[in-house]
Chain A
Amino acid sequence: MDTREQAEVTKIESDDISSVEIKVLLFARARELTGVPDLTLKMPSGSTTKKCMDELVIKFPRLEEVRGCVVLALNEEYTTDSAIVQHRDELAIIPPISGG
């Protein structure tokens, strides 16, 4: 984190109420569509994972291609659309998997 980001994070922590910052991880096709493996997303406090996804699609319209088939994970566990994100949570955009 650079100084400006650090200052912003500090400000959010001291404000405590209005917004949260989460880390978003993008994998496989989702990463290809956005061009980035991860990013920081600032959302209003109390936002759901669904709202975060909505915001990502606004920022990266190409994500619409996988919107219907991704699942989300919050802090390394599969999550629901209605889960509330907290400050510094890690949200992963998980396209259909194909391990093994």
Chain B
Amino acid sequence: MSSDEKNLIEILEEGHKVDIVKYIDYVSAPQAGAIATFSGTTRDMFEGKAVLELRYEAYVPMATRCLGSICTTARSTWDIHKIAVAHRLGPVPVGETSVFIAVSSVHRADGLDACKFMIDELKASVPIWKKEVYTNGEIWKENSEFMEKRLELAEKRDSLGKKHVVEEHKKSCCGNKVRVQEDEEHKDVAGKNNSSS
């Protein structure tokens, strides 16, 4: 079986919720002792402002391609069995899941590490955008992970480099300020993007 057949990548049309059971079932296998998952959900607050919903859009063909590439890199770094990644488009109300990742592996360390890698890389490089909608306005969000990686993305790079990727990942883990377009700079505890994961 080629690695493509072990990756399920879905960009879900507006209105389609994430069926996490489907993705967990997909990655399940007798030989996999571990299934690591990540679910990103819309939070209700950003900087004291009440968030009504997040609205997502994507450059779908390229996003799918990028996710495939991230899967390939994950496989070259960790010993994993199957991967499922789903991302919603359109409005995602508070409490609902916008992104879901499931990774199965024989041993849990590989799956857990690969799962973390995948969400970090998704936030750094996959062409998906979200708009945060408040009661009194809306703004496009910017992932700090992307802002750090921008220069690299604009230069051609080898996406299959195993060690190279692991080092990059560590660099981008350092806490950073989160950039919010049209807002003044602010600080976030873990340097992650705000109203979702």
Contact A96 B62 (CB under 8 A): no
CA distance A71 to B155 in the complex (A): 10
Query: Do B156 and A80 have beta carbons less than 8 Å apart?
Result: yes
Residue of B61, B98, B147 near A96 (CB, 8 A) is B147
**Which residues on B sit within 8 Å (CB–CB) of A98?**
123, 128-130, 140-143, 146, 193
Chain A residues, Cβ within 8 Å of B196: 100
A98 to B129, CA, bound (A): 4
What mask results when residues 69 to 100 of chain A are scored 1 for a CB within 8 Å of chain B, else 0? Answer: 10111001111110000000000101111111
Q: Are A96 and B127 in contact (CB under 8 A)?
A: no
In the assembly, what is the distance between CA of A41 and CA of B56, in Å? 27
- Check B141 against A100 for contact (C-beta < 8 Å): no
The answer, yes or no, to whether A7 is at the interface (CB within 8 Å) is no
- State A25–B122 Cα separation when bound (angstroms): 21
Within 8 A of A (CB), among B24-64: 40, 56-59, 61-63
Q: List A13-63 residues whose CB lies under 8 Å from chain B.
A: 25, 27-29
Name the distance in Å between A31's Cβ and chain B's nearest Cβ: 9
Using Cβ atoms and an 8 Å threshold, which residues of chain B touch A76? 59, 61-62, 65
Known: A27-B127, A81-B154. A100 touches B197 (CB 8 A): yes
Contacts of A72 in B (CB 8 A): 154
B123-167 to A contact mask, C-beta < 8 Å, 1/0: 101111111000000001111001100100111100000000000
CA A100 – CA B100 in complex, angstroms?
9
Q: Which residues of A contact B (CB under 8 A)?
A: 25, 27-29, 69, 71-73, 76-81, 92, 94-100
